Structures are given as structure tokens and as C-alpha cells.
Chains A and B, each alone.
Chain A
Amino acid sequence: MDLLSLSSGLLYTAFVIYLIAFVFFAATIKDKQQEKQFTLMNKIAISTTILGFIAQVGYFITRWMASGHAPVSNMFEFVTFFGMMLVLAFTILYFIYRIELLGLFALPVALLIIGYASMYPKEVSPLVPSLKSHWLYIHVTTVALGEAILAVSFVAGIIYLIHQINQSKTTVKTTWLEIIMYAICATLGFVIITTIFSSMDYNATFSYAVDEEEMTLEYQLPAWFGPENGELVTDDKMDAVFTTPGWMHGAEAPRKLNTLVWSLTAGLLLYLILRISLRKRIAAAIQPLLKKANPELLDEACYRAVAIGFPVFTLGGLIFAAIWAQEAWNRYWGWDPKEVWALITFFFYAIFLHLRLSRGWHGEKSAWLAAIGFAIIMFNLIVVNLVLAGLHSYA
């Protein structure tokens, strides 16, 4: 068996083991409400998690050996690595605070992230000259670790919020919680829909003209939104229902919009199914499961994750990034969207820390901030790469 298939086998194994670990963590909910007690089930759950992590490290090393460069150079590789760092960050925080509930939420988030990553092309991609630097590995791995530790603060924060927010009536807060739940559903929806259609090898090609030049665009999902003046050239496939609005730019905009609408719709469907079968808000349905949560401890873990993650992120996302940019592009800072969003992340967590330290933003306020911080990180990871950065990549 060649290295590359061994590598993807290991990743798949890691995914399955994480799934199993999640089930074990779910089983700890039933444990008697004894704080600080380390039950057998806890040990099994965390050991399984570590086993999964080792498998994923195996994926990482074998892929590195196969490709000759650290596998952090395209969307699939980077997002997968981010998922792996999230498991690592969770494990660290778990050993500090021994909060099993963290596993109950961190693992699904990691699973979703790895699932999301695997929707991108998985081929080993060649490095363009500017990426050929040790600083690439150093920079990207530290950023991913820093962001992952910060993401654990979101995990702690969301448990805190679900536990603390009064679910007896609809309020702005319960609505925002449901929006977060829906965002998770939409990500899951994206993974499910993409998997279904790619297993069917769905492909519909549209041709359209730009400045009298013939262009084609391939869809892997049935097209609701086609390119302007596009014509379906594949037989027996669904023709586009709508035309992509003209203000959306970029050759791939119609396909991206189509994927987005599919994900949001699938997410909505998932959300509604859950909501109707549960007969209450999703967060309200989860709340009783969190009986043994200790809000003060969660609040502290949420803050601690930021305290640990902020220096790591700054080092990787700003300082190492600047050193590398100086070497590769002779400017340590260039106001590229990716850089700006790293700065925004930095500003945001600086605000988080100052508000907490000086204005007493503890507990719920702090937890909401952690959720916003995670949204910013995800924005930088996904939207900036796919939308903003795409605008000035002249390719």
C-alpha cells in the first residue's frame, strides 16, 4: 500500500475513533454528579480521544512523507490540521480542568471540522516558490494551534450559555443560541449534501460566454443558481432555476452561491426536523443534559483557554507570519485580507481580555464574546479564503 492511501486510511480511522470517543463522553453524562471524580467511563473516553489523535498524527506524518512538505498547504490539509489541533487543545484543557462536558461538545465540533475539510479536493498540491520555507510550517502550525485553543473557549462558553440561559421563554438570548445551533446544522448539512452527491458522481456542466469567450463551470451539486446566460451542456441533469445576480463577482461565484444555498437549506431542514421532533428549542433540549455542569469552572476554563491561546495565536498569526512575509515578499505586513483578519482576531481577543480584567465581564458576557471570537476565526478560515482572498488572487 502506498503512503498516501495509508495516510488517508489513518485519517478515516481517526475520524471513526473520535466518533466513538464522543459516544463515550456522552455516556459520562449519566455518571453521578460528582465533581472532580474521575470515573472509569471518563478514562475510557479521554483515552479513546488520545488514540484518535495519535491516528491523526499518523495521517499527518505519512502525508508529509508522501508529499515532501508539511500537509498544511491547501484548504483540505489546513482545515484537517485545525481539527487535529482542536482535539489537542481540548485534551490539554481537559487535563487542567477535568470537565467531561467539554469533550461532549469539542469532539463534535472537531468531527464537523474534519468532515468539512474532507469536502475539499484532497490531492497533494505542489508548493509555489513563496511557500517553500520552513516558516510556512512554523507559522501555519502555530496559528492552527492558537486558533484551536481559542476555539475551546467557545466550546466552554457555549456549554455555559446553554446551561445558564433561561429557556422558559423566547428572548434575544435564546434566539442567538438557536442561531448558533442552526449554524452547526448548516455545516452538517453541507457535509451531508456534498457527500451524497459526490458518492453519486454528480456533475453538471454549464457553458457561458464572457467577452465572447466560451467558459464552462462544473457543478457537483444540482444547480439552482446558474451562471449568467449559462447553458446546461450535460444531459439529464437539472437545469439552473435562477441566475446568479450580476453583482457577485468571480468566475466561481455562481457555484459558491449554489453550494451556500444548498447548505443553508439542508441545515434548515435538519434544524426543523430536530426542532419538531424535540418539540422545543434545541438548546432547551440540551440543557437538562448539562445538569452537572459547574458554571464557575466553565467560565474559568473559557477564560483560561483565551489566556493560553492568545499568546500562541499572536506568535503564530502575527509574529511568525510577519517574519515569513518579510522573507518571502520582503514586507512583514501587506494588509492582505488574510493578514487583516488575523489582526482583527488579535484586536478582538485583546478586547475580550481587557473587558474581563477591568470591567468585570465574566460569565455570560464573556461566554458570548468567546462565541463571537470563534465566529471571527471561522470567518477568517472559510470566508476570507473562499471569498475575499479569491478576489485578488489573479489566477
Chain B
Amino acid sequence: MSIIKCSTCGHQNKEGTTICEKCGKPLDYDQQGTLLNMRYDGSAIRSKTKNRSIVDKIWNFFSSIKVGVSLIAIALIASALGTIYPQKMYIPQNIDPALHYRDQYGLSGQIFYQLGFHNLYNSWWYMVLIALIGISIFIVSIDRGVPLYKALKNQAIKRHPNFLKRQKLFGEYKDYNEEDKTDFINKLKKHRYKITENDGHFLAEKGRFSRWGPYVNHLGLIIFLLGTLFRFIPFMYVDDFVWVREGETAVIPSTNQQYYIKNEEFIFETYGNDDEDAIFEAALQNTSGPVPKHFETSAIIYEDVSKDVIGSEPELKEINSGEIIVNEALKINDLALYQDSYQLNEFQTMSFKLHEADDEEEAAIAEFTVDLTDPESEYEFDNGYRVELNRFYPEYELDNGQPRSISNYPRNPGFVFFVHGPDIEEREASFLAIGQNIPSGDNQYKLSLTDFGVRDVSGLTVRKDLTLPIIGLGAFIFMIGVIQGMYWQHRRVWIHQGEDRIYIACHTNKNWYGLTKELEKVIDGTSFTMVQDQEKNNDT
């Protein structure tokens, strides 16, 4: 690597250095007459000096701000494109997405789907984009952070006069006495500047820690992004779902059959039934249906303690109980159960009676109840009659005249019964559903619905997310970093003792207005005149 030797002090600076590390003399000879570029205090930045090997080239690519900003800009545009139509997870789940986007949004919807924008944020290229931003943040932080740290840590107090002359705020004073100088320095102290001295030259500095702000916040972002990757490690993340009916005990999925949950009761309230809801009356009139006010599952959690005996009946021991409410999950170790959805008044049982088809009174010959969660295939009666449940459609729908079930949940049950009896030759079939009773041909006997029982079903999300502490930590560090970098500034005042005069120069990494205000206060009352803003002078 070539070396730049300072012509004043002879210090050997690394290639790419623009301000001599030792005496502070500007080394950017081609830039003379302009203000000094103070970024990274003129230290050598790796990406600006090495460009030989392939590693250098990759390094330089990622540490270019132009590249970094472009990557963020591409992510921005891509993110925006994904909001044109709803993402896959927000469309009805029982329809083929290809059809949904075509039918709902026409040609543009089809293009949206074909380009894969319906699942944009989980697409490989979007993830790669975010990963590239992460890599860029990592490399750029090392590229600039390390030299900046070294430069500020080892900064010389005495700087070459040319260094001071090329600062934005600069003053040169011939007639002064020592008292004024001490005065000035004391006032800087009062403004909480840290003063260091070398041979009558002074450096007043404050807020240096704010310079680490960007690096702290970038570190936070990297931790955050790594945290999101941990989700792909199986034991770190569980996302499951369970429906539990009132009174039912269900195994909690993703727990290896270790935990069970019992739904004691599902409570559902809507607005408008309470005196205190009177205030919402006007708003409620404008809504089409009842507005849910509160819902919760009163649950008991059990652990199966029948240790390792394969095939044995589970032996349940209560370990926790409580309400699962929307903003309050119920926890079992790392696992949390969240109130997600509900299904009100799902059918639980249906009762039927058998009677003669032409009996006006419909006197029952036999009566039976079908448990919809566990229907029996046959119902036998003492008087010789027998009802066979031939088909059961939990949520029945007619599809081209053929009945079929669109789910396994008994939301709209349909039945095909065969009735057998001593006076029935072969069997009599009939189809029953809510509001429907269709005999096949001339049946002698008829089945009628007499009663039904309902219960609520609670939908619970089962979630474990061990990445949360990492992500939270990343976010926290990020916030510390931005606040550190944005709400404080790094201000420096150099006082250089020349032979017959002193030079004062000031620098801040941002908020020049604030620095100027502060200097006005500091200089006011000393015999010095206010330092000049050389940028302004150049303009006019």
C-alpha cells in the first residue's frame, strides 16, 4: 500500500487519508481553497482506497452509499407494489388464488398474480433484497466505523493552521490578551465542553458519542434482521391453530400431545345491550351488523402426565386456567394461546323422530339424537325399527345438484338416512337438512327434526416465538442509536496558538444553527468577535 508522507510533520499516513493523522494538515492538495471535507475526519476508508481483488470489489459494492440507498429504494418500490391488491393471506382461503385475482380484479389482477406479487413479501427475491440491505449495512459500518473511531480516538489537539482555516466557522484574532483566551475557554467549559490542551493549543469537544449513533442503529438493524432469520429454526417458532368447542378438551397442536386445552365456556358480547353503550348509539346505527364488544374463552390447560407409556390413555393434570381475551394471551411456558376467531352457535346435536308419513299428528314411533361430533352409523329401537345414517355432510352445500360438504364443521349439517323396519321391504331413504326434508320416492315413514343443541367454538392461535427477545433487542438498540445520533451532535472548537495571533475554528457534524447560537453565547462578553461562516462569505 502506498503511503502519503505529510510535508510538514513527516508522518506517514495511509493512502486515502485527506487530513494528516498527526498534525492535522490537509493533504487534499487538489481541493485547496475550499472548505475541508470533514467526513470521518479525513481518515482512510477501505472502500475508497482498495480496489484490486474480487473481495475489494464486493466490499466496495456493498459499502457504497449509492448502492445502499438504491437497495432501500428498490425495497420501497417493491413494498408499495405489493399493496395494490390484497396479499394471498388476506384473500378467502378456500378459493384458488389464480381464480380469485382474475375474478376480482380482472386483467391487472391476473398480472399481479402471475408476477407473484400476491405473495410478494415472502418471495425469495424480496427476502434477498432485504438480506442485501443487511449485508450492506454490516459492511458499510465496518468500512467507515472503524476508521472514524480510530481517527476520533487519536485526534491531535494541535492542528495545522490550514486545517482551521478551511473550517466552515473560522476566526483569526491578532489583538487579544491571554485573559480573553482563558475567558473563552472557561465559557466553553460552562457549556459543558471537554477541554484538552497541548502546548497552548486547545481542543474543546462535546457530544462525541453521538458519532457512534449510526453504527449503533445499524447494529440494531442487523440484530433485528438476524432475529427474523431465526424463525426458520424449528424449535424457535411455532405457529398453529386449534378449534375448541365448548365443553370439549382438545390436544394443543405442536406440543407432542403433551398439553391439552378445555374450553369451559365461550363468552361473546356485542355493543348496544348495556346502558354505558348509549354513547355509541349513533355510530351503531350506521353499521350493518352487531359490533362485537368482548369475547373470551374460559379455558383450562392440562398436561399429560402418563409418562412415555405408548398407547396409554392420557392422564391429564390441570396446570393453568384462565380467560383468553383478545389482547391477553394465556401462556404455558414459551407457548401462548391467543383468542383468534370464533364460530357462534355451531350445531352440537340434532334430534329426530320417526313417524308415519301420512300421520297428521306426527306421533313418534322412535326418537333419537345424533351427536354431530361423533355420529353413530345406526340407531336401533326396541320396536324393530332401525335408522341407518348413510351420509353425513357437516357443512352441506349443493354442487350441481349433488350434496357435498365444504368443511368438517357442523355449521349446516345434512343427512342421508335409511329407515329399516319390520313392515319396510328394503329400506326407505330420505335427505334431511335445516329446512329440507326430501324423501326418495313414496316413503311410508318420515323422519322429522325435533330439536337441536348448539354451542360456540373458539379458534385459538398457538404461538411460540423465541425470536421475539432478539428482535426486541435489535429494535431497542436501533432506537438508542437513532436517538443518540439524531438528538445530539458532535461539536468541536479548535484554538490554535499562532505566532502573533490565534485561530479559532468550529465544527459540528450537524445542526450548524445550534452551534452558531451556542458560539454567539460563548463569544459574547469576550473581546473576540464572532467567528465567520466561510460558506456564507463565499456565496455573497
Contact = CB atoms under 8 A, between A and B. Distances in A.
A129 interface: yes
B292 A354 contact: no
B283 A123 contact: yes
Contacts of A133: 327
Contacts of A135: 327
Contacts of A343: 79
Given A123-B286, A297-B513, A311-B482, A355 B69 contact: yes
A344 B79 contact: yes
A95 to B, nearest CB: 12
A336 to B, nearest CB: 8
Interface string A323-351: 00011111110111100110110011011
A253 B441 CA distance: 50
Contacts of A328: 326-327
B482 A249 contact: no
Contacts of A132: 294, 326-327
Given A121-B283, A121-B286, A351 B479 contact: no
Q: Which of B108, B276, B468 has the most CB of A within 10 A?
A: B468
B475 A322 contact: yes
Contacts of B486: 307-308, 310-311
A348 B76 contact: yes
Interface in B103-129: 104-106, 108, 121
On chain A, which size bracket covers the interface? 35 or more
A1 to B, nearest CB: 15
A395 interface: yes
Contacts of A351: 69, 72-73, 76
A326 B461 CA distance: 12
A330 B511 contact: no
Contacts of B84: 388
Contacts, number: 141
A39 B246 CA distance: 72
A129 B283 contact: no
B487 A311 contact: yes
Contacts of B106: 247
B76 A344 contact: yes
A347 B83 contact: no
Contact of A347 (B79, B288, B338, B512): B79
A66 B279 contact: yes
A335 B340 contact: no
B349 interface: no
B512 A300 contact: yes
A269 interface: no
Contacts of A340: 79-80, 82-83, 121
B282 interface: yes
B483 A337 contact: no
Interface in A287-340: 296-297, 300, 303-304, 307-308, 310-311, 314-315, 318-319, 322, 326-332, 334-337, 340
Q: Which of B79, B277, B463 has the most CB of A within 10 A?
A: B79
B65 A330 contact: no
A391 interface: yes
A130 B326 contact: yes
Chain A interface, DSSP helix/strand/loop, else mixed: helix
A243 interface: no
Contacts of B463: 330-331
Interface stretch (B86-94, B356-364, B388-396, B403-411): B86-94
A351 B83 CA distance: 21
B344 interface: no
Contacts of A307: 486-487, 510-511
Contacts of A344: 76, 79-80
Interface string A194-229: 000000000000000000000000000000000000
A69 to B, nearest CB: 10
B85 interface: yes
A70 to B, nearest CB: 14
B26 interface: no
Contact of A129 (B294, B329, B487): B294
A327 B105 contact: no
B86 A391 contact: yes
Contacts of A308: 486-487
A277 interface: no
A128 interface: yes
A4 to B, nearest CB: 7
On chain B, which size bracket covers the interface? 35 or more
A355 B84 CA distance: 28
B399 to A, nearest CB: 18
Contacts of B279: 4, 66-68, 124
B291 interface: yes
Interface in B303-323: none
A129 B326 contact: yes
Contacts of A332: 468, 471
B513 A330 contact: no
Interface in A353-395: 354-355, 358-359, 384, 388, 391-392, 395
B325 A126 contact: no
Interface string A180-203: 000000000000000000000000
Contacts of B536: 296
B280 interface: yes
Contacts of A327: 327-329
Contacts of B478: 314
Contacts of A175: none
A234 interface: no
A337 B121 CA distance: 12
A283 to B, nearest CB: 23
A332 B471 CA distance: 10
Nearest to A355: B69
A352 to B, nearest CB: 10
A354 B329 CA distance: 40
B291 A128 contact: yes
Nearest to A354: B69
Nearest to A350: B72
B271 interface: yes
B366 interface: no
A341 B79 CA distance: 8
Given A125-B283, A130-B326, A395-B288, A304 B511 contact: yes
B171 interface: no
B38 to A, nearest CB: 12
B327 A247 contact: no
Contacts of A12: none
A97 B513 CA distance: 8
B284 interface: yes
Interface of A: 4, 66-68, 97, 121, 123-126, 128-130, 132-133, 135, 247, 249, 296-297, 300, 303-304, 307-308, 310-311, 314-315, 318-319, 322, 326-332, 334-337, 340-341, 343-344, 347-348, 350-351, 354-355, 358-359, 384, 388, 391-392, 395
- Give the top 7 A-B pairs by smallest Cβ distance, nearest first: A123-B283, A123-B282, A330-B338, A129-B326, A392-B90, A358-B65, A125-B283
Given A125-B280, A130-B326, A332-B471, 11 more contacts: A121-B283, A126-B277, A126-B293, A133-B327, A249-B104, A319-B479, A330-B329, A340-B82, A347-B75, A354-B72, A358-B65
